[in-house]
Amino acid sequence: MFKIRQLTLFSIQEEQFTYQFSEGINYFKGKNDSGKTEFYFLIDFMFGSSLDISKKRWYKDSLHKATMELEYNGIGFLLTRTMNPNQNYFSYVNEDISESIDLRTYKDKLNSMFCQDESLLKEIRNFTNEDLTYRTFTMFNFFGENVQGKIQDFLDKCSDIKYSVKLNPILNFIFNNHLDKIFALQQELNELSSQLKELEVSRQRYDFIINQVNSNLLKLGGSITYTGRNAEDIKRFINSVREMQHPDNKGDKRNIADLEVMYNNISEQIKVHENSISDAKQFEKDSNSRKKLLSKLQELVSDNTEFDYLISPMQKLIEDIDSTIFFSNYIITDNTVKELRKQLEQIKIEIRRNDSKFKCYTVEQKVKSIALIEDYLSVVITNNEEDLNNLRRRIKEIKEEIKVLQNSDDMKKINEMSRFVTDLYCAAKDISTVVSDDIHQTGFEIKYLKKGNILQPMVLSDDTENINSNKKVNFYIGSMARHTLIQLCGYLSFMNLMLSNGKYPLVPILVIDHISKPFDEKNSKAIGLVLDEAYKLIGKENMQTFIFDDEDNEKLNINPDHVEDLVTDEKTGFNPFYFPTNTED
């Protein structure tokens, strides 16, 4: 059970004014410039919005703080926000007010309230790879007048980039039926990632020791290289150096000049092969585009016998494209580049080794190198490159599988969403001409499309000559009133879906600003019928609705549980401590 009981405003002089609320629908009427939209935003502010209201004329020099009392799951809470964004208070009802808290702590406490199951937050985090909180889910709570009539990307807050970028991960989470499998794969991925870190540390240690041994071997002369598997050969070599024997340099005939020529030649070969690969890939891309174009053209003319003379040349051209392109060439070239790079690295090592011959090292330096080599050789190291590659390959496979599963939609849930939106909309058929006109279209329904977050009206095709005449097609309706009513149905459907599931960090409220704006008097009554139909399933004890409008609630056919005028003899708008001056617009 959820209920905002009241909201108390405190003036700078500590005067108080309290708005009382009921469960279900709370309706506030106010003429223009009575603060309806400011009240709308104040509710979001009380739930942790970062909006700076201190400079707004409705609050500046009049309001000191606001306190909201609410009940959630049988527990009473007091939320207090001041004009200072980092001076907030959060406590239980009848509890002494504690010290002030900053906005981040305030939101953390609210997040704990609306998501008491830590495992749920972890599940959402694992699925979306983002830290999503109740604040992100407020995109489903606020329906403002600035986006009325939008049925594509229809949520108000998603016009803000910080919400729009998070919508798709949330929709994937809501409409996914592979959560258990994704969670299991995520656990495996975490375990493999830990193993990978350990192996990478071991590999870094292996590479470090190899490099240190070889760099010290260069100071001793000779052509031997430590590979990690020839420790005994290295020991024999340093013993020969210690006994003042000349290192065996047989076979080391190439001087540094020859090596530099080889290095430059291989570098040029690599550049040539890399250019060939780039050209081949571009040729492949261009040829595929030509093939698609020719195939489409063939489809267009194949049904007309007059163009038979064009068909054969097209087929021959497509076959020639397939038979003359040898794209495997650039794969072969790619392998060649890899081999050339290996040779290049070996030549680099040999150049460094030859370069060291021209440097003079003292006996002390050589003794130190021998000591370091013997110390490093005493460390047991293992070449785990194959294990690393296998592990990385498996991690990549899991990530790809998770991505596929995350983008796999639960069509049953999406169809249920579509049916609920359609049923809500059709509830107004007996009172609204726009709804009545729509439902008389053959096969009319409102289809929810997750991609783009779209509410798309659809009807059966009326093309009797088409074999697909039973196919649903988009039904385009230009009326803003129609779209706004459909939009309201979309908000209510999301609230019903998430509240019935009970596992989302959702504030159970819907706040609506000036919804009557696009409706004429005849069709505005549809709003009340849609709300009544939604509450039959949701239940007034489970969700509160706040509506701010300039029309009487009777005109919208709304039967509120609480109704109040924002303008009275005692106040000019929702903030009783604000009095406009004659100089204000």
Higher pLDDT: 467 or 93? It is: 93
Residue type at position 70: L
Task: Give the residues across from 372 on adjacent strands.
Answer: none
pLDDT of 289 strictly over 80: no
pLDDT at 45: 96
Q: According to the model, what pLDDT value does residue 179 have?
A: 74
- Enumerate residues 6+ apart whose C-beta is below 8 A from 507: 47, 114, 134, 137, 138, 141
- Cα separation of 287 and 272, whole Å? 22
pLDDT band at 219 (very low <50, low <70, confident <90, very high): confident
Confidence label for 583 from pLDDT (cuts 50, 70 and 90): very low
According to the model, what pLDDT value does residue 251 have?
A: 45
pLDDT in tens, 43-67: 999 999 998 888 888 998 899 999 9
- Give the domain ranges of the chain: 2-177+413-565, 191-404
| C-alpha closest to that of 523 among 482, 478, 558, 475 | 482
Per-residue pLDDT of 331-349, as tens digits, reads 555 667 677 777 777 666 6
As a whole-number percent, the residues of the chain with pLDDT over 90 amount to 47
pTM above 0.75, yes or no: no
Query: 459's torsion region: left (phi>0), alpha (psi -120 to 50) or beta?
Result: beta
Q: Are 174 and 497 in contact (CB under 8 A)?
A: yes
**So what's the pLDDT on residue 327?**
47
Per the model's pLDDT, the better-predicted residue between 90 and 405 turns out to be 90
The whole-number pLDDT of residue 364 equals 85
> pLDDT per residue over 224-275, tens digit each?
888 888 999 988 888 888 876 544 444 445 555 666 667 677 777 777 777 7
Range in 363-372, 419-428, 464-473, 565-574 the model is least confident about:
464-473
Q: What is the pLDDT of residues 466-522, one digit of tens each?
A: 555 578 888 887 789 999 999 999 999 999 999 998 888 999 999 999 999 999 988
pLDDT at 353 > cutoff 50 = yes
User: Does the pLDDT at position 326 exceed 60?
Assistant: no
Residue 386, token pair as written in the block: 């194959």
Q: Are 441 and 472 in contact (CB under 8 A)?
A: no
Summarize the confidence of residues 546-573 as an average pLDDT: 94
Residue predicted with more confidence, 88 or 298:
88
Q: What is the pLDDT of residue 548?
A: 97
Euclidean distance between CA atoms 228 and 381, whole angstroms: 7
Higher pLDDT, 331 or 550: 550
Q: Which two tokens stand for residue 574?
A: 């929702």
- More confidently predicted of 216 and 486: 486
Domain spanning 2-177+413-565, CATH class:
alpha beta
CA separation for the pair 201, 208 (Å, rounded)? 10
How would residue 585 be classed by pLDDT, with cut points 50, 70 and 90? Answer: very low
Q: Which of 82-96, 380-394, 468-482 has the lowest mean pLDDT?
A: 468-482
**Per-residue pLDDT for 325 more than 60?**
no
pLDDT given for residue 250 in this prediction: 47
Average pLDDT estimate for 275-302: 70
